[in-house]
Chain A
Amino acid sequence: MTVVESGSSKRVTGTRMLRREDPALLTGEAKFIDDIVQTDALYMVLLRSPMAHARIISVDSSAAKRMPGVVAVFSGSDLRGEWLAPMPCAWPVTVDMKNPPHYPVAADVVNYVGDAVAVVLASDKIAAVDALAAIDVNYEPLPVVSNLEDALADKNLVHPALGTNTSYVWNLEPDKAKVDSAFASAEHVVRSRFVQQRLIPSAMETRGVLAVPHPYGGEYTLFSSTQIPHILKTMLSLTVGISEAKLRVIAPSVGGGFGSKLNVYSEEVLALTLARKLHKPIRWTEERSENSLATIHGRGQIQDVELAADADGKIMAVRVNLVADMGGYLQLLTPGVPLLGGFLYHGLYDVPAYSFTCTGVFTNKTPTDAYRGAGRPEATFAIERSMDALAKRVGVDPAEIRRRNFIAPEKFPYSSAPGLVFDSGNYLPNLEMALEKIGYKEIRAEQERRRAEGSRKHLGVGLSCYVEMCGLAPSKVLGSLSYSAGGWESATVRILPTCKVQVVTGTSPHGQGHETSWSMIVADRLGINTADIEVLHSDTAIAPYGLDTYGSRSLAVGGSAVYLATEKVLEKAKLIAAHALEVSPEDLDYQDGEFKVKGSAGKSYALSSAALEAFTAHDLPEGVEPNLEATVTWDPPNFTFPFGTHIAVVEVDEETGQTDLLRYLSIDDVGNQINPMIVDGQIEGGIAQGVAQALFEEAVYDESCNLLDSTFIEYLMPSAAEFPSFELGNTVTPSPTNPLGVKGVGEAGCIASPPAVINAVVDALAEFGIEHIDMPASPEKVWSAIELARLSGTRVD
């Protein structure tokens, strides 16, 4: 596999190189936020509202303040003057979007269970927690808005001052007449309503913050378990009013994010504010049940999806109407998340007419925001479930309906009806490989056999063909979507006097292995060992520029920046080499750490000599600055569009409603692969997270908007016992839009897997005439659907 232009005869990119991150993580040496020692820190704990919607009449903290170890207690009103601005929402998706001010501690009204009402600072955590119970808050309950339909109806209002629960309505309908005419003339119209349940991201490490003031230097260091130290620094500066020049943000080892740490949170703002106010380090560690309430949730949508198709099942138009749950407030990217899927409801099918509308509404629940896939799993679920329904309507196999609709390979770069340009794709061979590897025909035969003998264990097979847009993102495109930041990434490559290399990246890994992969990219280009390369990141004092890690962007954007910075530093070294060899730079080749004069055996100059010369600067060519260092900030010209086919095989027990995942196969195409071991790991983790949505997980609220499953006892995050080993494969269609030819992979598995599983479950239940099961397809839901089918006589015997 050709990956990058190489200056090495011993290529490492494309190999399954083991991760350099692992020894520290495997031995307990790695430092997560809660492992950082700060002996003089005050512990911060928050009193959280037990009510979803209520007016705060009074907060009496006098008893709490008298408790041993307690240093201070503040209510929202006490802190009202501390903020320069409300909590930031960086994605005003429409000019008239409603975004009620949201402060770290509520002063007047609480809007979800978990909203903070007071903050306690004490000398140790136990003293702080003990003091919480002594704070007396008097609430006046307000009517709650507990579901999306009630929210749309505006009967009760989350924020009465807005006069509506609707935050925004966003349309994407390039040609309405074309859509209308397609539906008017269609042979088949498939209409479906899907519910994307709320999910709790559940990174294994909860969030944590440590804000350290340096009172005599007038500066602050903030450690946070975050995916976005750079964005956080700028946002904290704007919110708290501390100069960017006086604030350093560090993300230490971070125990998973999945989008949930791609935010600016109340506790980060509070810790910094209180460190300023009290001149003491402030530390906060989230408990798991707090994480379920106070860290963002994912998904939360109702999707009305319509496909218009001709007699052969060729899709003529897709029309989507979405209602998306914002929760009680808008967090950093809340309103934009459903729109990231808004361009992809036609999947990887060639669809000429497209209409998408999203209405974002407030409810009295935890705010939603980006969770692995962010809008794209929802879109993929909708189209891939609809494709199965269309196949049934047309009377063809689910694989066949997909073949008939794929974008043909010669159409790339493909301009989609919603307005994207898909970089590259070759979908049919990918599907065929998946069908062959899983033994699709044999599974269908086994299914028939079981049906014929009246087995009560029903076999189902489900397909999901997916494409997604990732590698966020071209800054201009983000600008056109009203996103308040760019999508570039920065890298510096520095060759030290001893020819060891420092790579500084603006990405901020939290499990993705960037140190390993980035070192591989640089090692190949420079023809040196990865062991001679260090990769620095996640500290704004070391890596001043960056846009961090989310949206499957790090390799495609950040890795490309690293590659281009390596090229640039090599160009400079070449000038030094050419000067020393008294030849023109064009006359030099570079391989394995040496510049050689083309066609002249023996005349060479080592990179290490250039490194030392650049440092001593005794004899540099005219106009060449000392030191061997280059920085590149790369703004990608396009998103990348990875794709693939996932197939789930399930067995559903009609007696219990239990679904067992027997096999799971994926053939993914993420372009070139720098480290296939890491790529596979990303896919596997994504698959499991998507299967979890399909079969197990849901943030369940009662009618008063109390979260009923805020711990791992109730929230069904699956264990190893719930999965088979996964069967993985690849096709390789490089992306032409970045120098590495790579596409994003972090979210792909999670985007593809939910519809594969639900298609399989529904396929297993075909005999009962069951057409859909909402996620999660719990035993209770499946069993009830079977019983209902029996009672209503839809069973096809």
Chain B
Amino acid sequence: MQITTTVNGHPYSKDVEPRTLLVHYLRDMLGLTGTNVGCDTSSCGACTILLNGESVKSCTVLAVQADGQELVTIEGMATESGLHPIQKAFQENHGLQCGYCTPGMVMAAASFLKENPKPTEHEVREALEGNLCRCTGYHNIVKSVLAAATAMEGVVL
């Protein structure tokens, strides 16, 4: 069936099979391969994107459910003037190693910081519970999100 979405500000209209997952729509049909797949069970969060401003695991959403909705993927975070403050904080705090979980982590952090702009370390750790990383031990991911919160104080996402 035909669905229309706005992804990173661009309108798309595509014919999708009803069983197509949103993550496959993004990756295979729109060519937005920054969103990664890490598991089959909605456990790892590598595929996290923003759906109308809130984080969702795009492997748990059908493409047809996104019809008429606004999506932001990792490709929509940086602008002409450079990396998004969250991306910058991840680089400055070495919040990534292999980088595979990173797009999901950044998008989950974006959604979380909108809800809670001044989180404690404990709150960051709880908020990222649905996003797995095997490289960093989370130490620098947590630091990155806290640093991003400070950097973005007063900035509306």
Contacts and interface: CB of A to CB of B under 8 A. Distances in A.
A27 B33 contact: no
A520 B35 CA distance: 31
Contact of B137 (A27, A202, A689): A689
Contacts of B41: 288, 711-713
Contacts of B106: 26
20 contacts: A19-B91, A26-B91, A26-B96, A27-B74, A27-B77, A27-B78, A28-B35, A203-B100, A204-B100, A205-B98, A253-B99, A254-B98, A289-B40, A681-B94, A684-B137, A685-B136, A711-B43, A719-B138, A721-B128, A749-B137
A687 B134 contact: no
A28 B103 contact: yes
B40 A687 contact: no
A713 B43 contact: yes
Interface string B65-101: 0000000011101100001000100111010111111
B125 interface: yes
B96 A25 contact: yes
Contacts of B129: 719-721
Nearest to A726: B139
B78 A255 contact: no
Given A27-B78, A723-B139, A685 B97 contact: yes
Contact of A711 (B39, B102, B141, B142): B39
B133 interface: yes
A783 interface: no
A642 to B, nearest CB: 18
A21 interface: yes
A164 B152 CA distance: 65
Secondary structure class of chain B's binding surface, majority of residues: loop
Contacts of B74: 26-28
A657 interface: no
Bin chain A's interface residue count. 35 or more
A28 B134 contact: no
A31 B124 CA distance: 29
Contact of A511 (B73, B87, B99, B124): B99
Nearest to B73: A28
Contacts of A22: 90-91, 96, 99
B135 A685 contact: yes
Contacts of A726: 137, 139
Contacts of B141: 720
A372 B134 CA distance: 11
Given A23-B83, A712-B39, 8 more contacts: A18-B91, A204-B134, A256-B134, A684-B136, A684-B137, A711-B41, A719-B138, A725-B139
Secondary structure class of chain A's binding surface, majority of residues: loop
B97 A681 contact: yes
Interface of B: 27, 31-41, 43-44, 46, 73-75, 77-78, 83, 87, 90-92, 94, 96-103, 106, 121, 124-126, 128-143
Contacts of A511: 97-99, 135
A794 B125 CA distance: 38
Interface string A177-208: 00000000000000000000000001111100
Contact of B125 (A256, A720, A749): A720
A684 B140 contact: yes
Q: Which of A21, A681, A686 has the most CB of B within 10 A?
A: A681
Contact of A204 (B27, B44, B128): B44
Nearest to A713: B41
A27 B82 CA distance: 10
B99 A712 contact: no
A91 to B, nearest CB: 25
Interface string A18-38: 110111011111111011010
Contacts of A37: 31
A19 B93 CA distance: 10
B73 A717 contact: no
Contacts of A27: 34, 74-75, 77-78, 83, 87
A719 B34 contact: no
Given A28-B32, A685-B134, A720 B90 contact: no
Contacts of A689: 134, 137
